[in-house]
Structure 1
Amino acid sequence: MESRINWGIIGCGEVAEVKSGPAFYKIERSSLITVMRRNEDKVIDFAKRHGVAHWTTSATKLIENELVNSVYIATPPSSHLEYALQAINAGKNVYVEKPMVLNSQEAQILLDAVNGSKVKATIAHYRRELPVFLKVKDLLDSNTIGKIISAEINIQQTSNTSLIAKTDENWRTNPEISGGGYFHDIAPHQIDLMCYYFGVVEHITKASRKEKGISNQDVSGELLFKNGVNFSGNWDFNALEDKDECKIQGERGSISFSFYGNTVILVKDGESESYHYENPEHVQQPMIEKTVGYFLGNNPNPCSVKEAVIVTHIMDVFCGKSYKYKNK
C-alpha cells in the first residue's frame, strides 16, 4: 500500500491549469512530481508556474518515471486508452479524464485491463463530489420527495455555447479525437449523475441523433432504471437560446438544478426551498481528494471504470452506434 501518491500529469493543458492540476499538489499526502505536454515551451511554462520539479514531452518517459506511482491522463480522448494501458502495464494507478475513451469497444478493453491488474483506476466524473450534486443525492437518499417517478435533462446551447472549453485546436468537433461532437464533451457528466442517483439501467427505451454539422449535434434518449425511474434527456447545440436544467419528479414534489449553476430548488407539498452552494476554486479537488484516498486504501473508489463503461454504452446508443444494451 502506498504511503503517498506521487502524480504525473499527461496533458497539462487548459483543464489541468485550474480545474484539476493544482489539486494534485495541494491535497494532503499527494504530490505532483512531473508533467508532460508535447509542446516543450508550454510544458516548461506550466512546470515553472506550478512549481513542478520535472517535465517531459514524452508520455512514455513520464509513465516510466520511478518516482511516479499514479498518472492523471488529461489529453484528448483519442489517446486515453493508449496511455491508460501503458500506465497499467507499468503498475501505475490512473485517474482518467472524461469521456473515458472513444467508444464502448475501448471501454471494455480498459475495464478488462484494470480487472486483470493490481492497479487502481478512477474516472474524473467530478460533479459527483461537488456540493450542489451532493445535496441532490442527499435529498434523494432521504426520500424527501417520495418515490421518484422521472428525471429530465434539457440542455440547449447556441452555436456560441460557453459550456465547452475553448482550445487553440477545437478537437472536440473532430470525432476521431473526441469520439463525437459537443455531446461527447459534456454529456458524460450528466448521464453519469443519473446513473449515480438512480442505479442500474434496465434498458434504453428510445434514442435519436440529428447531425447539424459536426459540432452541432441534436441528441436525445430515454432510459428506464431498474427502480422504475424514467429518464429522458435532450442535448441541442444549435438552439436559439441557452438552457440548462434537470428536473427530478417525485410523488410529493420535485428537485430542480442546473449542471453549471450553484442552486438546488426543492418543491415539496407545494412549498419551495432553495439551497445555494459555491464550488471550490479547483472544481476537481473534492474528487481528486477521494481518488487519493482510494489509492491510499482509505475509502471506496469514487467512480470506477465499470461505472464509466455504462455511461459510454449509453452515449453510444444515444448516438446511434449500437442499439443493444445490457447492464452487466
Structure 2
Amino acid sequence: MRNRLGDARMARLRWGLIGCGDVARKRVAEALQRAKGSELVAACRRDPQALEAFCREFDVPRGYCDAEELLNDEGVDAVYIATPVVYHEPLTVAAAQRGKHVLVEKPMARSTAECDRMIAACEDAGVLLGVAYYRRFYPVVRRIEELLEGGAIGRPLAAAIVTANPFDLRPGEEGYWRVVPELGGGGALMDIGSHRIDLLLHWFGPLEDVKAHVATVAAEYECENCASLTMRLARGVHAQLLCLFGTPGDPDSCAIWGTAGQLECTPLNSGTLRIRTQSGERIERHPPASNYNVPLVEDFVDAVRRGGMPRVTGREGRETNRVIERAYREAGMRWRADRSNR
C-alpha cells in the first residue's frame, strides 16, 4: 500500500461520511464542509430515503447505501466514521486496506482489542487514524493545559468531573444503540465518560490504578446509567469522574486542585474558567468554536498534508478505552470487560 502521508500539494481532503445520524446532522457534515482544506464528497446510510434527504440537505454529490461502495470510491481520500461503535473496527480496517485515512467517532471501539486491530491496519497501510475527542480543541482546555504546565496552581493534586445526560430515548429510536452493549460497548461511562477520561489522561498522564462502581439504577436498559471512578494517574494526580444517564439536566463540571490554587470550569462547554490562587481570583472566558468539530477536522486535514500526526491519535484513543475496560472489570461487569479477550 502506498504511504499517503505528507501530500502538501493536495488542494482539499475529500471526505466520505459513513453514518448520517444525529451527530452527523448536528455537527459533522457541516464541519467537513466548513473546515479549511476539507470537502465532503460522499455519504453513506443504509436507508435510501434518509440518505437522499441527507445528501440534499448538505449538498453531498454522491450517496451510497453500502459502505463498501463508498470505500471503493477513488474520489474519497478520507472517511469520517459516525456509526454505532460496533462498526468502528470493521469499517476502519476496510478503509485502511483501501488507502483511506480514518477519523472515527468516540469512543474509538468497544474494547482495546478492537482498538489494536484498527491501529495495526492503519499503520500497515500508511494512513492516519484519529479519534473525535473534540473537547481537546476547546480553547479553555488548552488554557488549562497552559496553566498546569506553567505552575499556576502549583503541583496538581486532584481533579473532579461530573457529566450527565437526560437520555430519554426509547427502544427503536435513533441513538438508542448507545445503551445496547453489543452496539455501543457500554452505557454512560463509555458514551459520555470517554470524553472526560480523554481530557484527564491528556492533562495528567496515563492511568496507574482505578476503582470503579458501575450500576443500572432506575433505568430499563441493560447498560449502566451510573458510573463513578476514582483514578490515580501517572503524574500523581487523583481524579474522580461521575457519569450519569437519566438526570433532568446535564451538569458538566470540572475542577482541578493544586498546592497553590484551583481551576474550575463549569460548565466545561461554556469556556468560563475560574482561577483561584494565593494572589486572588479571576475569571477568563474561552468559548468553544460554534461547531465543535471544525477544529478537529482542520487538525486532521493539516496532519495529512504535512505528514504529521493528528492531535488525538488512535493510540491515545486506545488509552481511554483501556481505562473504561479496567473500570468495567473492576466493577465486576465481566460481560463487557471480557470483550478484550475474544
Task: Kindly report which structure 2 residues correspond to 1:67-86, keeping only aligned pairs within 5 A, or say none.
Answer: 67-86=75-94
CA distance in 1, matches of 2:271, 2:73: 40
Structure-2 residue corresponding to 1:15? 23
CA distance in 2, matches of 1:33, 1:283: 21
CA distance in 2, matches of 1:158, 1:16: 20
Task: Kindly report which structure 2 residues correspond to 1:93-104, keeping only aligned pairs within 5 A, or say none.
Answer: 93-104=101-112
Pair 1:232 & 2:240 matched: yes
Unaligned ranges ≥5, structure 1:
none
Which residue identity is paired with 1:171?
W
Alpha-carbon distance change, 132 to 150 in structure 1, aligned in 2, over 3 angstroms: same
Match of 1:6 among 10, 14, 31: 14
Figure out how many residues of one structure are paired with residues of the other and give that number: 319
Match of 1:173 among 163, 167, 179: 179
Moved more, 51-60 or 215-224: 215-224
Q: Matched residue of 1:116: which SS?
A: helix
CA distance in 1, matches of 2:165, 2:63: 38
Structure-1 residue corresponding to 2:59? 51
Structure-1 residue corresponding to 2:214? 209
Structure-1 residue corresponding to 2:192? 186
Q: Does the 8 Å contact 2:136/2:142 carry over to 1? A: yes
Match of 2:73 among 36, 60, 65: 65
CA distance in 1, matches of 2:124, 2:257: 41
Pair 1:148 & 2:156 matched: yes
Shift of residue 266, structure 1, vs aligned partner: 0.9
Q: Does the 8 Å contact 2:37/2:298 carry over to 1? A: no
Shift of residue 270, structure 1, vs aligned partner: 5.8
CA distance in 2, matches of 1:158, 1:270: 39
Shift of residue 253, structure 1, vs aligned partner: 0.6
| Larger helix share, 1 or 2 | 2
Q: Does the 8 Å contact 1:216/1:238 carry over to 2? A: no
CA distance in 2, matches of 1:23, 1:247: 30
Moved more, 47-56 or 211-220: 211-220
TM-score, normalising length: structure 2: 0.86
Shift of residue 241, structure 1, vs aligned partner: 6.7
RMSD (Å), alpha carbons: 2.3
TM-score, normalising length: structure 1: 0.90
Q: Does the 8 Å contact 2:163/2:193 carry over to 1? A: no
Moved more, 13-22 or 83-92: 13-22
Q: Does the 8 Å contact 1:14/1:167 carry over to 2? A: no
> CA-to-partner distance for each residue in 1:15-55, whole Å, 9 max, x for gaps?
11232211212222211111111111111111112121111
Q: Does the 8 Å contact 1:248/1:256 carry over to 2? A: yes
Q: Does the 8 Å contact 2:214/2:224 carry over to 1? A: no
CA distance in 2, matches of 1:261, 1:285: 17
Moved more, 84-93 or 98-107: 98-107
Task: Kindly report which structure 2 residues correspond to 1:205-284, keeping only aligned pairs within 5 A, or say none.
Answer: 205-212=210-217, 213=219, 214=221, 216-238=224-246, 243-257=251-265, 258-269=267-278, 271-284=280-293
Q: Does the 8 Å contact 1:19/1:281 carry over to 2? A: no
